[in-house]
């Protein structure tokens, strides 16, 4: 079970972000805080894996940062949309696919980038 003790308040906001390494992907957050973000993926992720990210802030430069996968847990399998298009890495050839909620912890946001993120999410 995931603890609700958080250093930063989370906001339900869909923010586009890009995983740069190890495997480039563009995703959307479910919620975000100054300490990290939550997203769903059709691909399993390893806890403690390190990622390089770019948080995309509209009309501004993206915010680069390193992140750690803090936790992963499966949620109920989700039926694919009738269009056959998948969600964040889901194989569109399957009728249902496992979905994972993934929590990322930001590791090295500079104070300047924290301020940019704060102004955007609050």
Residue-range domain boundaries for the chain: 16-121
Alpha-carbon dihedral sign for residues 36, 88, 94, 46: negative
What tens-digit pLDDT sequence spans the chain (122 residues)? 455 566 778 889 899 999 998 889 999 999 999 999 999 998 888 999 999 999 998 888 899 999 999 999 998 665 554 444 444 555 555 567 789 999 999 998 999 999 999 998 88
Quote the pLDDT of residue 60. Answer: 80
Quote the pLDDT of residue 98. Answer: 84
Quote the pLDDT of residue 54. Answer: 96
Q: How far apart are CA 63 and CA 84, in angstroms?
A: 32
The closest alpha carbon to 73, from 93, 32, 108, 103, belongs to 103
Quote the pLDDT of residue 111. Answer: 93
- Does the domain at 16-121 match CATH 3.40.50.620? Answer given as no
Quote the pLDDT of residue 95. Answer: 61
3-state secondary structure of 121: helix
């Amino acid at each position: 079970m995931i603890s609700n003790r958080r250093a930063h308040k989370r906001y339900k906001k869909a923010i586009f972000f890009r995983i740069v390494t190890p495997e480039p992907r563009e995703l959307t957050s479910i919620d975000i805080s100054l300490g990290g973000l939550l997203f769903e993926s059709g691909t399993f992720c390893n806890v403690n894996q390190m990622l390089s990210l770019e948080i995309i802030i509209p009309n501004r430069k993206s915010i680069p940062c390193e992140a750690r996968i803090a936790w992963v847990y499966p949620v109920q399998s989700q039926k694919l949309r009738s269009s056959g298009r998948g969600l964040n890495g889901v194989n569109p050839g399957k009728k249902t696919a496992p979905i994972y909620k993934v929590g990322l912890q930001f590791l090295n946001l500079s104070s300047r980038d924290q301020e940019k993120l704060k102004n955007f999410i609050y």
